[in-house]
Structure 1
Amino acid sequence: MSDIEQELDVRVIPPPQKHPTIFKTFENLDEDEAFILVNDHDPKPLRYQMSAMLGDKAFHWEYLEEGPNVWKVRILRTST
């Protein structure tokens, strides 16, 4: 497990590539590793998509910053 968590700023990624990039980043995590998602809006739809695809127990979602211009979410891959 890394002491420094990767920050993924999706504000610079073209919209069609955002979710695939986020899912790829998540898949590359080991159990109990996390990354920080940075976005320009609440990524709540992503949370719903992750829950539907992976199940609620596969990850932990923690808001670190909640707008209005920047949203930061720590996404942890949990042990299943």
Structure 2
Amino acid sequence: MSVRTASETVIDVRQILPRMRRHPLIFATFGELEPSDALVLVNDHDPWPLLYQFNVRHPGAFMWRYEEEGPDVWRIRITRAA
């Protein structure tokens, strides 16, 4: 589920099954962001493998900031670099 506001999109992937659909949705949403816009990812675990993929696919093009770090909910702000 994703919700878009003026400069931020929230994606709660906890409800998305199967899990293999999560990363394509996140990357597609990131691809639609304007510079300085952000997506907030809500997950049920630390998505460090996703951070690795971002570093490979979009080096230097994003900022990753944890807003909430578990244990039940993880919230990460991923901002497209200006």
Instruction: Return the TM-score normalized by structure 2.
Output: 0.88
Q: What is the aligned partner in structure 2 of residue 53 from structure 1?
A: 57
Task: Indicate the SS of the match to 1:42.
Answer: coil
Q: What is the aligned partner in structure 2 of residue 75 from structure 1?
A: 78
Could you list the runs of 5+ residues in structure 2 that have no partner in the other structure? Answer: 1-5
Could you list the runs of 5+ residues in structure 1 that have no partner in the other structure? Answer: none
Query: Structure 2: how far apart are the matches of 1:37 and 1:60?
Result: 13
Which stretches of structure 1, 4 residues or more, deviate above 4 A after TM superposition?
Answer: none
Aligned pairs, number = 77
Instruction: Return the TM-score normalized by structure 1.
Output: 0.90
Query: Structure 1: how far apart are the matches of 2:38 and 2:57?
Result: 18
The structure with the largest strand share of the pair is 2
Q: What is the aligned partner in structure 2 of residue 43 from structure 1?
A: 47
Q: How far has the Cα of 1:29 moved from its partner?
A: 0.3
Task: Indicate the SS of the match to 1:51.
Answer: helix
